[in-house]
Amino acid sequence: MNYTQAARSTDPETSHIAEEELTKSGARLTHCEKIIEAMEDLAAMRHTQSTGREIAQKSGMDYVAVMRRMNDLLNSGKVVKGQARTCQTDGKTKMVVWSLV
C-alpha cells in the first residue's frame, strides 16, 4: 500500500507519532481493507459510485476515519475520485463520489 503522509508538516509532533503508530500497528491497512470491502458490497448492490458517508455507513467506520484513508487508496490506485452528487445518507448533502478501480 502506498500511504500518503497523514500528518502535515505544520501539525504537532503528536500527530506524526499517531500516524506512525497507526501504520506500524496495521490499523491503517485494516481500515483500508474495510473500506474496500464496503465498496465491493455497495458495488454488488449497484452502487458503483459511493460518497464517503455511504462508505462509512456500510463499513461501520466513522466518516472522518474513512476520508483519512481515501487518499491512501487513491494514491495506491485502488479507487478513483468522481464528481459530486447528492449523498443518499441524508438526501441533501452534495459530496464527491469514489469508485473502485
Does 1 map to a domain?
Answer: no
Does 79 map to a domain?
Answer: yes
Domain range for 74 is 13-100
Does 31 map to a domain?
Answer: yes
Does 45 map to a domain?
Answer: yes
| Number of domains the chain contains | 1
Does 6 map to a domain?
Answer: no
What digits encode the pLDDT tens for the residues 13-48?
998 898 899 899 999 999 999 999 999 999 999 999
Does 30 map to a domain?
Answer: yes
Question: What's this model's pTM, rounded to 2 decimal places?
Answer: 0.90
Which DSSP string corresponds to 26-94?
THHHHHHHHHHHHHHHHHHTT--SEEHHHHHHHHT--HHHHHHHHHHHHHTTSEEEEEEEE-TTTSS-E
CATH number of the domain where residue 38 is located:
1.10.10.10
